[in-house]
Amino acid sequence: MNLIDWRHWHNEPYLIGGLVLLAWGYALLTGPLQGKLDPRASTPAWKAWSYYSSLVIFYLAVGSPFDQLGERFLFSAHMAQHMVLIYPCAILFLVGLPPWLVDKFAAVPVIRQIGWFFTHPVVAGIIYVMVQSVWHLPALYDLALQDRLMHVLEHVTFFGSAVMFWWPVLANSRVWPMITYGSQMIYLFAVAVGLTPLFVAVTFSSEVLYPTYEFAPRIIDNFGPMDDQLLAGAIMKLSNVLMTFLAFCFVFRRWYRQSEDRSKT
């Protein structure tokens, strides 16, 4: 493990500057400018915590020494990094967005149309599945490992497509609202099915898919590239199964509460 410099943290201007800009913009819009944008609006503290937690987790995923572990040595570590961007990071980011702020931006006609298109469940689901599937093509995945700009693009598209994917389930916007609870369950199931070929291709491949990991220095004894690839596929599949199950439980609970409230009226 001495091949890894655990003191190395990424501090590139586009990473630090981008995260600081997102944090500063949120603080400004939900703080000093909130009264001017919408006098009746309020942003609960828990939403701010959710949003800022997403930014911190994003940096820990791509800026900490863990990034080096996934980029140079272990496919399974890189897969875990992607799962962090897709699940906790994207979910916390979306939950942290105040509905009034989203709707304020959506009031611009062009933005409203673009947002309506990309948050439509069919479009969001297809983009989400395609982004993951295309990036895992051996030539493109290995290119991202060798080219820093492509690697950044890979991470940004993983995160962005995940925000779109979760939008129909978690959004609280009046302009781009979430879909009905029954439709949410069908949507979650359909996307899980759509990702199955990718899981199968990675997990059950008879050969190492990515040369970078095939010839990477071995930092764990008796843990070869095929073992690493099998673990990466398992991390991908189990993460998806777990999050889909939790999302199903979350949606069902909200659906049940809604039916209970209606029966009382």
Q: Quick count: other Cβ atoms within 10 Å of Cβ 175?
A: 17
258 — pLDDT class (breaks 50, 70, 90)? confident
Dump the DSSP string for 190-245.
HHHHHHHHHHHHHHS-SS-S-HHHHSSPP-STT--HHHHHHHHHHHHHHHHHHHHH
Instruction: Give the pLDDT confidence score for residue 29 in this predicted structure.
Output: 94
Instruction: Give the pLDDT confidence score for residue 68 in this predicted structure.
Output: 86
Instruction: Give the pLDDT confidence score for residue 14 in this predicted structure.
Output: 87
The domain ranges of the chain are 13-259
Q: Given a cut of 80, is residue 8 above it in pLDDT? A: no
**Percentage, residues of the chain above pLDDT 90:** 75
186 — pLDDT class (breaks 50, 70, 90)? very high
Instruction: Give the pLDDT confidence score for residue 208 in this predicted structure.
Output: 94
Rounded-to-integer distance, Cα 107 and Cα 218, Å: 53
E strands along 89-208, which residues? none
Q: Given a cut of 60, is residue 1 above it in pLDDT? A: no
Q: Given a cut of 90, is residue 2 above it in pLDDT? A: no
What are phi and psi for residue 163, nearest 5 degrees? Answer: -60, -45
Instruction: Give the pLDDT confidence score for residue 82 in this predicted structure.
Output: 95
- pLDDT, mean over the chain: 92
> Which of 31-45, 87-101, 200-214 has the weakest average pLDDT?
31-45
Mean pLDDT on 144-156: 92
Mean pLDDT on 187-208: 95
Instruction: Give the pLDDT confidence score for residue 7 in this predicted structure.
Output: 72
> Which of 3-12, 21-30, 139-148, 150-159 has the weakest average pLDDT?
3-12
For 53-91, how does the pLDDT look when each residue is reduced to its tens digit (9 = 90+)? Answer: 999 999 999 999 888 888 889 999 999 999 999 999 999
Give, rounded to a whole angstrom, the gap between the first and last alpha carbons of the chain.
63
Q: Which of 89, 68, 188, 174 is nearest to 129 (CA)?
A: 188
Q: Which of 78, 60, 71, 75 is nearest to 10 (CA)?
A: 60
Q: Which of 128, 204, 203, 201 is nearest to 163 (CA)?
A: 128
Instruction: Give the pLDDT confidence score for residue 259 in this predicted structure.
Output: 80
Rounded-to-integer distance, Cα 198 and Cα 32, Å: 46
Mean pLDDT on 25-45: 90
Q: Quick count: other Cβ atoms within 10 Å of Cβ 31?
A: 11
Q: Which of 130, 158, 131 is nearest to 70 (CA)?
A: 158
Q: Given a cut of 90, is residue 260 above it in pLDDT? A: no
**Rounded to whole angstroms, what are the CA distances from 113 to 107, 120, 260?**
10, 11, 35
Residue partners of 42: CB distance under 8 A and separation at least 6? 34
- 167: part of which helix (H) or strand (E)? helix 148-170
Q: What tokens does 257 get?
A: 């509460």
Rounded-to-integer distance, Cα 112 and Cα 107, Å: 6
The answer to whether the predicted template modeling score (pTM) of the entire model surpasses 0.75 is yes
Name the CA dihedral angle for 55, 56, 57, 62, rounded to a multiple of 10 degrees.
90
194 — pLDDT class (breaks 50, 70, 90)? very high
9 — pLDDT class (breaks 50, 70, 90)? confident
Letter for the amino acid at 193? Answer: V
